[in-house]
Amino acid sequence: MNRASLTAEYMALFRALETSRPPGFRMFVDSDAAAFLHGARKLLYWIARFHGLRLVEELLDREAPGARAAGIARTKWIDDEASAALETTNQFVLLGAGFDMRAYRLTPATRATVFELDHPETSSAKQAELRKAKRGLPEHIRYLGIDFNTQSIAEVLLEAGFDNSRPACFVWEGVTNYLTAEAVDNAVCEIRRAARESVLLFTYIDRAVLDNPQFFFGAARLMARLQSYGEPWTFGLYPGELQSYLAARGFELVKDSSVAEVWQQAGRPSRGTRGYEFYRLASARVR
């Protein structure tokens, strides 16, 4: 890959659009998300700002049904869970950080030491955009390039000053579905060894969608689009096996739900625009 991830940029677009909603009608605020937009995605954002947010939302929902709702719902859920976890720990690890700005915008994260791990191209693109926007790179954030399929998370963290004698909150958002089964297994085991009493917040996809995307709302079109980006999905878990999968690797499952459920719980429509039932959010604790 010789560029930043397109899926990471689309996530930034979804967050920027949500932030454009009036107070009281948005799930979160990410004032920096628009800084990471280019080309068509930047144009869509400016059209939304000056000519109609609803128009752009409807266009995106028609082209990729469920994608925007899924991105917004997962951001909201992880924001809330991470903020709660960071009340009792001051180490925050973002695995596959993309253009995530939680280290800046979540108040508890500004008091923590933050380790952002991502593909070197995406990490470099993020830092370049922050410098261009004169946003600055705070000392409490450490940007670390990594290939999750070949490098050790634990080793990369330790080299960057991570303290494995203290607990941490790990966020693994939008990553597992792009890895091999072996890479996911290795990463979960390394997170387990990395710190005591740690919390892991992560996303995963229902394994069934990889074999039968036509059975799930929005899946077939989404997977074709990802294939065209050169970012196909490769890994999933059946929700019914998640608890035993985690237990075998030293974790206790705490929560597991779909982004569609989070979308509806936030008061958004259950018909028409909605998140993916097959895209899931989970939290676990080191046993």
Point out the least confidently predicted range of 179-183, 198-202, 252-256. Answer: 179-183
Residue 201 lies in a domain: yes
Residue 3 lies in a domain: no
Predicted local distance difference test score (pLDDT) of residue 126 = 87
Q: Is the pLDDT of residue 1 over 60?
A: no
Give pLDDT tens digits for 22-36. 998 999 999 999 999
* pLDDT above 70 coverage of the chain, percent: 97
Residue 49 lies in a domain: no
Give pLDDT tens digits for 228-246. 888 899 999 999 999 999 9
Predicted local distance difference test score (pLDDT) of residue 129 = 86
Give pLDDT tens digits for 83-108. 999 999 999 999 988 899 999 999 99
The chain-wide mean pLDDT, for the chain, equals 91
Alpha-carbon distance 200 to 93, whole Å? 9
Point out the least confidently predicted range of 78-82, 147-151, 283-287. Answer: 147-151
Predicted local distance difference test score (pLDDT) of residue 285 = 96
Give the confidence band of 270 by pLDDT, cuts at 50, 70, 90: low
pTM of the model: 0.92
Residue 91 lies in a domain: yes
Burial 35-72 (b: 16+ CB within 10 A, else e): bbbeeebbebbeebeeeebeebbeebbeebbbbbbbbb
Give the confidence band of 111 by pLDDT, cuts at 50, 70, 90: very high
Predicted local distance difference test score (pLDDT) of residue 133 = 81
Give pLDDT tens digits for 154-192. 899 999 999 999 999 999 999 899 889 998 999 999 899
Question: Which CATH number goes with the domain that contains 74?
Answer: 3.40.50.150
Residue 72 lies in a domain: yes
Residue 237 lies in a domain: yes
Give pLDDT tens digits for 129-144. 888 887 778 889 999 9
Domain tally for the chain? Answer: 1
Q: Is the pLDDT of residue 3 over 60?
A: no
Q: Is the pLDDT of residue 4 over 80?
A: no
163: domain range?
A: 65-286
Point out the least confidently predicted range of 112-121, 128-137, 150-159, 249-258. Answer: 128-137
Higher pLDDT, 5 or 17: 17
Give the confidence band of 2 by pLDDT, cuts at 50, 70, 90: very low
Residue 2 lies in a domain: no
Predicted local distance difference test score (pLDDT) of residue 72 = 95
Predicted local distance difference test score (pLDDT) of residue 271 = 66
Residue 142 lies in a domain: yes
Higher pLDDT, 106 or 120: 106
Evaluate whether 129 touches 206 at the Cβ level (below 8 Å).
no
